[in-house]
Structures are given as structure tokens and as C-alpha cells.
């Protein structure tokens, strides 16, 4: 995985064209939609729903353009309903997916929360990903640094991180290297595109890298 909350380069992986920007990008940087039975654009977070996929860059501006300009209908060559709250729906689904993945990592012993536990993992080079709440204290967060060669995720709320650990809230968390950590970073990068661009807080050691 790369620094700044971005997954490793996947040269040679599948690519698709964004209907809003016209750019061809790796699928892990895009959002897939399919046409539902009622003719509505349906987000496909797991990229497993049947039907022809319609792809949009994982950026709020791109998705808003696709909704407002009728680009789903143009891409499908038929009338497609795209609700005005589609961006918020996708953001919520992405956030829940990241929370669920972190929870799976926790159950497998590959994730911890709490300042002292995270600090110990960082000191012992056990952590691959540092996660800090967007609404946490800046002073407290500044005391922990992204692991060298690792990743930072800073656009989940304390309530969302807490949910992943069965707690009311949590500000600091860390993940060990592994498949789940990679998936968390990829899904979190897509969430960042939906969340940070409309006022979300991506504050953190590496979050400024794009």
C-alpha cells in the first residue's frame, strides 16, 4: 500500500471509463452502478450485481455531475432515475462498508483501538494503517504518526470508528498488514472522495497527499 491513504499501484488491473469525467481509471477508484428493476441507478458497492455496469469516479463532484446532467440515462441509452440524494446514499454505504471491514479485522485480531494500544503497535512496527477520527482532538492525534510506508485514514468519525470496535466512540485505531487492511484503505480512499470534497475533515499526517 502507498502512503497518504492510497492503495498500491495496480497496473494491469481492470479499468473503466467514468461517465462524468470521461477518464479511464482503475475500478478501485470508481463507483459501479447498475440499473434496477424500477429503472433507477443502484449503487453496487461490492461490484457483484448483475447487469451492465455504469462507472463514476469516486468523487462527489463527478457523481453530482452524473446526477444533475442526466449522464446515467445517456450512458444507458434509456431513461434512468438518479435520486437527488444519491451522493449522500453512496457516502453512507461506503462509510458502513469501511466500518464493517475494520470490524472484521478486529474480530481477526488484526485491528486495535485506543491511544495506548495504537501507540504500542506503532512503536513495535505492527501497524500498517493508522486510523484517526475526523472529529477527534487535533492535539491528541498529532502525537501519533503514520507508520513508515503505511497508510493514514482520517475521514471517519469517532462514532463510526467506535462502531467498528463495539464502542460508543473511538478516536485512534490501527490495522496490521494484510488483505483486510488493503481493502479498508481502498474503500476509505473512495469514501474520502465523497466526504472530504464537501467539508469532511481529512486532517492527518499523510492525508494531504493526493
Of the three residues 84, 104, 134, the one that is the final residue of a domain is 84
The chain-wide mean pLDDT, for the chain, equals 89
**Mean pLDDT, residues 138-166 taken together:** 96
96 and 53 in a single domain? The answer is: no
* pLDDT band at 196; cut points 50, 70, 90: confident
Confidence grade of residue 165 (pLDDT, cut at 50, 70, 90): very high
The predicted structure's pLDDT at residue 11? 52
- Region 67-86: what's the mean pLDDT? 95
Question: What pLDDT score was predicted for residue 33?
Answer: 97
Query: Are residue 103 and residue 172 in the same domain, yes or no?
Result: yes
The answer as to whether 210 is a domain residue is: no
pLDDT at 3: 39
Please report the pLDDT score of residue 47 as a whole number: 92
80 and 98 share a domain?
no
Q: Residue 31 maps to which CATH number?
A: 3.30.1230.10
Say how many domains are in the chain: 2
> Which of residues 36, 53, 84 is at a domain's end?
84
Residue 197: per-residue pLDDT = 52
Do residues 51 and 112 both lie within one domain?
A: no
Give the pLDDT band of residue 80 (cuts 50, 70, 90). Answer: very high
Are residues 64 and 147 located together in one domain of the fold?
no
Termini Cα distance of the chain:
14
Residue ranges making up the domain that contains 156: 89-198
Q: What per-residue confidence (pLDDT) applies to 113?
A: 98
Q: Do 73 and 95 sit in the same domain of this protein?
A: no
Average pLDDT estimate for 164-177 = 97
Percent of the chain with pLDDT over 90: 85
CA distance 5 to 1: 8
pLDDT interval class at 120 (50, 70, 90): very high
CA triplet 30, 18, 4: central angle to 5 degrees? Answer: 40
Q: Are 77 and 106 members of one domain?
A: no
Q: Are strands 151-156 and 129-133 parallel, antiparallel or unpaired?
A: parallel
6 occurs within a structural domain = no
Give residue 209's pLDDT.
30
Rounded distance between C-alpha atoms, residue 96 and residue 134, angstroms: 16
* End-of-domain residue from the set 84, 108, 135: 84
- Do residues 102 and 25 both lie within one domain? no
For residue 3, being part of any structural domain is answered with no
In a domain, 174, yes or no: yes
What pLDDT was estimated at residue 179?
85
Are residue 161 and residue 136 in the same domain, yes or no? Answer: yes
- Does an H or E element contain 115, and which? helix 115-123
**Residue 99, domain CATH:** 3.30.1330.30
Placement of cell 438518479 in the chain:
82
Is 155 within the bounds of a domain? yes
80 and 102 both lie in a single domain: no
Q: Write out pLDDT tens, residues 5-57.
A: 444 454 557 999 999 999 999 999 999 999 999 999 999 999 999 999 999 99
Same domain, 180 and 133: yes
- Residue 15 parent element (H or E): strand 15-17
Contact 45, 93 (CB under 8 A): yes
30: β partners = 57
Kindly report the pTM of this predicted structure. 0.85
Amino acid at each position: 500500500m502507498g502512503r497518504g491513504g492510497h492503495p498500491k499501484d495496480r497496473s494491469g488491473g481492470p479499468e473503466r471509463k467514468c461517465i462524468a469525467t470521461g477518464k479511464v481509471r482503475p475500478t478501485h477508484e470508481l463507483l459501479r452502478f447498475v440499473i434496477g428493476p424500477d429503472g433507477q441507478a443502484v449503487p453496487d458497492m461490492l461490484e457483484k450485481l448483475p447487469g451492465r455496469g455504469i462507472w463514476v469516479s469516486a468523487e462527489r463532484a463527478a457523481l453530482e455531475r452524473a446526477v444533475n446532467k442526466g449522464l446515467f440515462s445517456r450512458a444507458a441509452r434509456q431513461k434512468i432515475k438518479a435520486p437527488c440524494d444519491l451522493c449522500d446514499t453512496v457516502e453512507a454505504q461506503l462509510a458502513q462498508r469501511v466500518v464493517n471491514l475494520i470490524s472484521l479485522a478486529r474480530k481477526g485480531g488484526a485491528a486495535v483501538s485506543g491511544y495506548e494500544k495504537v501507540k504500542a503497535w506503532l512503536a513495535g512496527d505492527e501497524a500498517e494503517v493508522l486510523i484517526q477520527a475526523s472529529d477527534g482532538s487535533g492535539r491528541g492525534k498529532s502525537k501519533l504518526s503514520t507508520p513508515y510506508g503505511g497508510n493514514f485514514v482520517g475521514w471517519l468519525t469517532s462514532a463510526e470508528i467506535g462502531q467498528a470496535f463495539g464502542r460508543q466512540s473511538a478516536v485512534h485505531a490501527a490495522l496490521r498488514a494484510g488483505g483486510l487492511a488493503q481493502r479498508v484503505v481502498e474503500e476509505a480512499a473512495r469514501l474520502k472522495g465523497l466526504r472530504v470534497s464537501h467539508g469532511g475533515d481529512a486532517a492527518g499526517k499523510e492525508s494531504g497527499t493526493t
